[in-house]
Structure 1
Amino acid sequence: MMTLTTPSLRPSFAHDPSLEARLKGLSRLSGVMTFTGFGGIVMLLGPSALADFSEVDLAVTRVPLPIVLVGVFCAGMALRHWVLRRVSQLEQRGWELLLAGRPEAAIGSLEVAVSAGSDRSRIRSHYALTLAWLRQGDYERALALGEETHHLPRRNRDSRVCDAQVPALMATILALYGELEDARKWVGRIRRPMFDETDHALLAQAVMLCREGRDVDAVRRIQRTAREDVPEMDVGAVAVIHAFARSRLEGQLVPLKPGCVLPERPARASQYEYLACEWPELAAFLRGEDAPAPVLDA
């Protein structure tokens, strides 16, 4: 089975409230500096800008006020760039930890990135934080964060995250929770960006089919998608659901389609326990037990 790999990791970032406060404070300071300094640029546009304004004593020399303000503007822009770079590092670190199967360590970095990033970065970090809480098995918190992410302002929006990944993640969480009707509504909100071949709805729909006892349909739905079109963060979970559905076919033959995820029992079942928090049959499968088919309502 293809599983998530563990990259070489740097020391982890714990959630540091002081770091969060510093980054937010520096972000506000950079805004004040650029706003104030912009006045210097306006002054320099005048026909006799330097002659009309007094000079500022900088101890070692005297400099016209517009030049000083332009310097403040440049310093503010440089500070803003540094803050955004730092936030980007925290966001990247969060994703690395998620890929390594360490969601509890990812949460600290992502919470800081959510609070101090730009609009675009905040949306990506919100999505990653939702995914991290799902992988911690905290469906309630993941759902709350997913709703919050869905309603964030769409300035500088990332259409892949806003229109595809967030609705797909909400549908998956609800399906794992057993709320299949609500999950279907979120699947209906998925809008795949142009030229994007990724099958964002795959995991949610496979889970829904399994929870309805339609294991053959679940296997066929998964095998309909080529391996390269499975979302990177879903590969391991899709393989587990594939293996689980095939284990319950009760003699029905569904040939393996070349190029799909491999239907083997996961080597590290504990890595996927979050899928089974509200799903006893899948929990039994992950423990290596033969789980009976669920009893469905008439």
Structure 2
Amino acid sequence: MVVLGSVAGSMGAVWLARKPDERAMVWVQTALLLAIFLTFIGYTSWRFRKWAALCERGAALLDAGDLGAAQRALEDADGYALRPPERVLTRFHLALCALFQGHVDAARSGLLALSRGWRTKEVPDVYVRAPDMLAACLALQGDLVEARQWLEEAHRRRRPGDASFSLGELLILCREERHGATVRLLDDRREAIEKSSVLVRNQLRVIRAFSWDALAMEGGGGTPDEELKGVGPVRPGEFNYLGAQWPRMEAFLRARGLSEKEAA
């Protein structure tokens, strides 16, 4: 397309040098406009394909738990994004990368911008999930009042009958030390959880084990060790973000060897 534009420009220059009649000038102008239009369409299509490939790759790496590679792919994708929906989706995934890497403040900032941004509505899934994940960040930081507010906002945005899993609600319950309710929520959403990525399932098993451990300490039974047996191969520091600003969770992770666990 760039070559086509250059050729059209050269043709236009030749015609102008020869001072053609008015009818010829109209044809030249039309050809130039067409060349510019086709060049623009080709360029935007190329950028969209690059963005789509990189964003898809980044999302797949994120689901697989390869957070560093996912972040690099998504940052590259963000550079190719032209339209607001493309930027919204890319930056949502980047915020998740930041969260799971333990950069809770950065994730909170990114998710807050997305939750408040009016262009986020153009990506319905992000429109619902951004405030829910923001609530999760706030819960991890112990800001439960604001976390509840954003969780309610996520519920208002959710379509009727949507039974998707809410990490924000789970972490709020867990941080409030309502461990029985935490386990019940995980049981109620078992089907949705099974459809989640390995990264998410591992994290939820750890949260469930943490709740069972707390219930056991309160004399309510629980089998945290059984829950942890289901945790698949993990990367070093995979669960550190859970305890970064949550002392009791950090103590649990250390006691179970999960804060330094090596990848299998």
Compute the displacement of 1:188 (Å): 0.5
Aligned to 1:54: 24
Compute the displacement of 1:75 (Å): 2.1
The answer (yes or no) to whether the contact 2:138–2:147 under 8 Å persists in 1 is: yes
Gaps of 5+ in 2: 6-20, 258-264
Q: Following superposition of structure 1 onto structure 2, how do residues 222-261 of structure 1 map, counting pairs within 5 Å?
A: 222-228=186-192, 232=196, 234-250=200-216, 251-253=219-221
**Alignment counterpart, residue 274 of structure 1, candidates 241, 255, 260:** 241
CA distance in 1 between partners of 2:203 and 2:245 (Å) = 15
The answer (yes or no) to whether the contact 2:141–2:245 under 8 Å persists in 1 is: yes
> Which amino acid letter does the alignment assign opposite residue 77 of structure 1?
I
Compute the displacement of 1:284 (Å): 2.6
**Alignment counterpart, residue 123 of structure 1, candidates 81, 85, 88:** 88
> Which amino acid letter does the alignment assign opposite residue 116 of structure 2?
H
Going from structure 1 to structure 2, the CA distance change for 1:114 and 1:231 (only over 3 Å counts) comes to farther
> Which amino acid letter does the alignment assign opposite residue 183 of structure 1?
A
Compute the displacement of 1:130 (Å): 0.6
> Which amino acid letter does the alignment assign opposite residue 280 of structure 1?
P
> Which amino acid letter does the alignment assign opposite residue 185 of structure 1?
Q
CA distance in 2 between partners of 1:206 and 1:133 (Å) = 19
The answer (yes or no) to whether the contact 2:67–2:101 under 8 Å persists in 1 is: yes
Aligned to 1:198: 164
CA distance in 2 between partners of 1:141 and 1:249 (Å) = 32
> Which amino acid letter does the alignment assign opposite residue 157 of structure 1?
E
Compute the displacement of 1:174 (Å): 0.7
Going from structure 1 to structure 2, the CA distance change for 1:275 and 1:84 (only over 3 Å counts) comes to same
> Which amino acid letter does the alignment assign opposite residue 188 of structure 1?
E
Q: Identity rate of aligned residues, in percent?
A: 27
After superposition, what is the alpha-carbon deviation per residue over 1:233-255, rounded to whole angstroms, capped at 9, x for unaligned?
A: 53332221111111221242579
CA distance in 1 between partners of 2:196 and 2:158 (Å) = 15
> SS at the partner of 1:54?
helix
CA distance in 2 between partners of 1:93 and 1:211 (Å) = 33
The answer (yes or no) to whether the contact 1:197–1:229 under 8 Å persists in 2 is: no
Aligned to 1:172: 136
Query: Bigger relative contact order, structure 1 or 2, given CA contacts below 8 A and separation 6+?
Result: 1
Going from structure 1 to structure 2, the CA distance change for 1:74 and 1:205 (only over 3 Å counts) comes to same
The answer (yes or no) to whether the contact 2:212–2:221 under 8 Å persists in 1 is: no
Compute the displacement of 1:64 (Å): 3.8
Higher percent of residues as helix = 2
RMSD value, Cα? 2.9
1:135 maps onto 2:105 in alignment: no
Q: Following superposition of structure 1 onto structure 2, how do residues 152-171 of structure 1 map, counting pairs within 5 Å?
A: 152-154=117-119, 157-162=122-127, 164-171=128-135
Q: TM-score, normalised by structure 1?
A: 0.67
Compute the displacement of 1:84 (Å): 0.9
